[in-house]
Structure 1
Amino acid sequence: MKRKTSEKPVCCWDMPQKREAKFVAREVSTSCRMCRRQFGTIHSREHHEEQDHHFTASKKAQMSTGFPPGNILEYRTPQELQAFVQEKLRPISGPVSIVCAVEIEAIISVIKEYFPLPVTRLIKGGLYIKGTDTQVWSEVDIVLFSEAFENLDDCKKKLPEVIDDLGKRLKKSSWASRITMKKRTQFSLRFNFKCCKNLHSHSFDIMPCYEMLGPAPSTSLKWSFYHKLYLCHDADKIQLYTMSLLPYQVEFIKESTVQVKDLMRLVKYWFRTSFAMPTEQNRFRRLPSSYAIELITVYIWQLAGKPIFFSLVQGMRAILKLLVQYSEICIIWYKHYSPHCTTFKKVLKKQTRKPFINRGADQQGVLLCGCTSVLDHAVEAAAGDFYRIRPFVLDPANPTFNVCENSNAWDEVAHVARRSLLKPLFNGVPSKKPWLFTNSW
């Protein structure tokens, strides 16, 4: 059977201009999708949308769903889906991949050479570095630490001049013809880099910063860093603080298997092709970030017991079923945190609002949705008599960042996921081992 798919050439989801808040949420979850007005709670925001903008359930459903003809959800067999991922989503392998890697390292060396301040350390992130990029979308994040910054305040003050200077130098370099500058942000220089004889491009995000952790921080230094981050109330400084955590975010995703990364690509493609494009009316709608989807995918894979080989249909079905009940999602990993640390308890309590019952915790410290075991005593002490913000997925590297707060459209995600589960790809497909836990969802 010939597979036909239609990927939208332009999509609002997770594009560079939509990723201003790269490491921290900026109250997006409580901002109106129609007028961007801020509210104290998600409930009050949704009440405003319904009363002032007549954003009823039927209108919401109409404006959220956008299945194009030939969507992957129309496939009839798992083999079709697997072939689509290999042929259309995975980055091209072979000589092109090798040349691409060489050119990426070359342009990074150029960035370091043209940076106007001495570079003490450079760290890399983004979809390309994590290994979750696709044939049509790739991004590279570069953080440059310099001892020329005396402290965080000095860094914040000098950033605009440093970023502008770097941009001017790159425009005059021998690589200028392959660089297309984008609108810079407060913290970064952004451009597209044409790679491999202009066959494709990478979106670069260059962020200068003051060094606060170093390459191999001790446990005490890391917890001191988290404590300062917790006490910081300056949104700009918080953004600069969390740039130091980029290597841990990358490491967490890179540890996944190739097939898990394929599942991440597949779910992101589902986001790109299953939602209606925003109109003038709901232009402030923001879907979950790419990073949030990656973490949710890792979580689902861990619930299944970390299988090396598995059906992409079963994995995607499990993720969609979880998204349908997004209000129950509560995930915390303890790789970089200690549930007994006083600072972490304070941070967790700060991110919660009302009384809640935990769903249990596995041996890795992940709070499991749908389990029935008793509340972990350390988390109970941290949360007290508070409900968490829902959904809640704590960044495994940043204890102050619920990655789900960057979206104000989880109800739309649940609607589209529910509709997707009725499509031919999943219609009549029973769950199989190791995905039987989804039967209770």
Structure 2
Amino acid sequence: MWALKLYNCELCGSNFVSCTALRYHFQQKHFGKVHCKKCGQEVPGDKLQDHSKSIPHRSTMETHKLNWVNLEERNIMHKATKISKSCRMCCRHFGTILSRENHERQEHHFTANKRAQMSTGFSPHNMLECKGSQELQRFADKKIHPASGSQRAACVAEIDAFLQLIQGCFPVPISRVIQGGSYVKGTDTQGCSEIDIVLLSDVFGSVKHSKKQLREGLEALRENLKRTSQGNRILMGTRTSLSLRFNYLCTESLHSHSFEIMAYYDVLGPTPSTDLKLHLYRKLYLCNDSDEAQLCALALLPYQVDFIKASIVRVKELIRLMIHWFKTSFANPTEENKFRRLPSSYAVELLTIHIWERAEKPLFFSLVQGMRAVLKLLVRYAEIDIVWHSHYHRKFPIFVKVNQKHTRPFILDPVNPTVNVCDTCNAWDEVAHVARCSLLKPLFSRVRAEPPWLFTSDW
């Protein structure tokens, strides 16, 4: 039997059985439209100027005052935004990754040499210069691990007090608070502490998911926090439609925490039934509004946190090392490639846990061997295909449909079968290049796979 030839639209990825059908689709959906360089959306050419004026100005923040310098790239761990199919240079969106890569080569001359120049940026005296496991451990204890003892206790007390202040400044009554981020999961580092706060209120359930009410509530919180005695320790980030982002300076240890605050109503409640969770999965799968899907997915944040927290202490050490590697091994984006997005910290956590599971979950292991295994897999990113079934069955219809259509790399959120967390990155080829260069550094010089990491010998 002859295979049916399909004609693919490079702009949106839709398939058609004839060239005529593809031409008709283009005329109806894309003809006369141009891509806005600020937001990546298609808009009529004669309305581009008015559309550009309607987009809020993205002002540059004085992030050099704080330790956390990537406030603009805070990870949103909920609804995947298909960033993987957007251009690194102009943020134009495509239907397939192949068409996006063709565009980057043809329009921006993004060659292999250019990619190498724009991706690699090893910081001086980084951990890859360590020679052996003992030196790496000393480096991690001094430079990567968060404060401990009385200093950590003071930080925890201060953050708890600040969370109470946030709740008091919110303009409507709060029924429940959900917390997430690396600070809560125990994977934070000295220079990278994320705290995600979800304020749940019954008020938002009675306004039929009005995003206007949510924005007004977060804007009121923003202004109220600035007027408090803690206002001079808060550096507000660029406004977004669904969240409030800022850095908070912790005076006890003179470091900062990156906050992201969102609000919604309690979709699942504190103790949801299995049927209620399955109903939420169906709602997320069928939802056409990405904002609403992201808000509904907030209810799954506690399960994401529990999945990471369940890892042993040694795995969390390895996660910290990998997050630090991402922070210190890549060149900072320039004006030319400002739309480049690296994998989220959540994707790094899941990838590291998967590697540990591949090694049959050893309680004690070499961090050098663990890092080497993760980097080896990143080099072969096109083969990444990771799925867990602790929250949904293999025959669950939504999982089956998502799994049939997935593209690689593929890491399915262990608590949300509708989201591939790899979709938040559009630079996996750069990740592979930097991982390949890292494996040539002194830390991995002459290192060979040892039990239980022998499965990496073929990589």
TM-score bracket, shorter-length normalisation: 0.7 to 0.9
The 1:276/1:412 distance shift into structure 2, 3 A limit, reads same
**1:203 Cα deviation from its structure 2 partner:** 1.4
- CA distance in 1: counterparts of 2:121 and 2:399, whole angstroms: 41
TM-score by length of 2: 0.83
Which residue identity is paired with 2:113? Answer: S
Secondary structure at the aligned position of 1:244 is classed as helix
1:329-355 CA distance string (max 9 Å, x none): 000111111112223323433xx1xxx
The 1:185/1:22 distance shift into structure 2, 3 A limit, reads farther
- CA distance in 2: counterparts of 1:301 and 1:9, whole angstroms: 36
1:203-224 CA distance string (max 9 Å, x none): 1111111211011111111101
**1:399 Cα deviation from its structure 2 partner:** 1.1
Aligned to 2:97: 42
Determine whether 1:311 maps to 2:366.
Answer: yes
Aligned to 2:279: 224
Aligned to 1:147: 202
Aligned to 1:238: 293
Aligned to 1:294: 349
Alignment partner of 2:187 out of 108, 118, 132: 132
User: What is the correspondence of 1:78-97 to structure 2 with a 5 Å cutoff?
Assistant: 78-97=133-152
**1:122 Cα deviation from its structure 2 partner:** 0.6
1:411-437 CA distance string (max 9 Å, x none): 111111111111121121111111111
Determine whether 1:204 maps to 2:204.
Answer: no
**1:181 Cα deviation from its structure 2 partner:** 2.3
Aligned to 2:244: 189
Which residue identity is paired with 2:87? Answer: C
Structure 1: gaps spanning 5 or more residues: 1-7, 353-387
**1:12 Cα deviation from its structure 2 partner:** 13
Secondary structure at the aligned position of 1:336 is classed as coil
- CA distance in 2: counterparts of 1:311 and 1:16, whole angstroms: 32
The 1:212/1:152 distance shift into structure 2, 3 A limit, reads farther
- CA distance in 2: counterparts of 1:304 and 1:118, whole angstroms: 47
User: What is the correspondence of 1:25-424 to structure 2 with a 5 Å cutoff?
Assistant: 25-151=80-206, 153-197=208-252, 199-349=254-404, 352=405, 388-424=406-442
The 1:73/1:130 distance shift into structure 2, 3 A limit, reads same
Which residue identity is paired with 1:58? Answer: N
Secondary structure at the aligned position of 1:66 is classed as coil
The 1:178/1:437 distance shift into structure 2, 3 A limit, reads same
Report if the CA contact (8 A) 1:75-1:425 is conserved.
Answer: yes
User: How many residue pairs were aligned?
Assistant: 397
Report if the CA contact (8 A) 1:152-1:210 is conserved.
Answer: no
Alignment partner of 2:443 out of 417, 422, 425: 425
Aligned to 1:438: 456
Report if the CA contact (8 A) 2:204-2:214 is conserved.
Answer: no
Bigger Cα Rg? 2
Of 406-415 and 183-192, the range deviating more from structure 2: 183-192
Give the number of the structure with larger relative contact order, counting CA–CA contacts within 8 Å between residues 6 or more apart: 1
The 1:152/1:255 distance shift into structure 2, 3 A limit, reads farther
Secondary structure at the aligned position of 2:209 is classed as helix
Q: Identity percentage over the alignment? A: 56
Which residue identity is paired with 2:169? Answer: Y
TM-score by length of 1: 0.86
1:63-117 CA distance string (max 9 Å, x none): 2112233222222111111111111111111111001111111111111122111
Structure 2: gaps spanning 5 or more residues: 1-62
The 1:151/1:333 distance shift into structure 2, 3 A limit, reads farther
Which residue identity is paired with 1:222? Answer: K
Secondary structure at the aligned position of 1:425 is classed as helix
- CA distance in 2: counterparts of 1:154 and 1:54, whole angstroms: 44
The 1:151/1:16 distance shift into structure 2, 3 A limit, reads farther
- CA distance in 2: counterparts of 1:152 and 1:59, whole angstroms: 50
Secondary structure at the aligned position of 1:149 is classed as helix
The 1:136/1:303 distance shift into structure 2, 3 A limit, reads same
